[in-house]
Amino acid sequence: AKPSSDPVVGWGPSGGYVFQKAYLEFFTSRETVEALLQVLKTYELRVNYHIVDVKGENITNAPELQPNAVTWGIFPGREIIQPTVVDPISFMFWKDEAFALWIEQWGKLYEEESPSRMIIQYIHDNYFLVNLVDNEFPLDSCLWQVVEDTFELLNRHPTERETQAP
């Protein structure tokens, strides 16, 4: 928790406290998703995840319709305020917008048959949008360790990956 007056993360009325869970969102390949899912087994109770591709293939360990508060504030004489939540339904709408950016914004920066445009189209068609929430907000975030463990697993020989998570 930080005071609401904190110059970096503070917000809301004075005299309050603000809280924030660690949150990470990124695009990645199917191969990385498979390794990430193995690693996340170790963090199953601590980390919620939503993983979705452009076609709507959806992998999650979060309740289907339940939002997860990521930031909230407690202020004198007021109810708890939750300005940021990870909502499974909203995430699916965001998925459409996020994937559209690849081809409707970034892709249009390049000639239609250029290698850069083809890479962007490939990412749009084949990658996943991932979000991770570390629910143990009083502790140091484990999300960078999750990412590190995922890359460590990816760097192992393929036969080792199937049997061992870090």
Supply the pTM of this predicted model.
Answer: 0.85
Is residue 32 classed as helix, strand or coil in its secondary structure?
helix
**DSSP-derived pairing of the beta strands 58-60 and 47-53:** antiparallel
Q: Is the dihedral of CA 151, 155, 156, 161 positive or negative?
A: positive
Structural tokens at position 63 = 């309740």
Structure confidence by residue, pLDDT tens digits, 96-145:
999 999 999 999 999 999 999 999 999 999 999 999 999 998 889 999 99
Structure confidence by residue, pLDDT tens digits, 91-105:
999 999 999 999 999
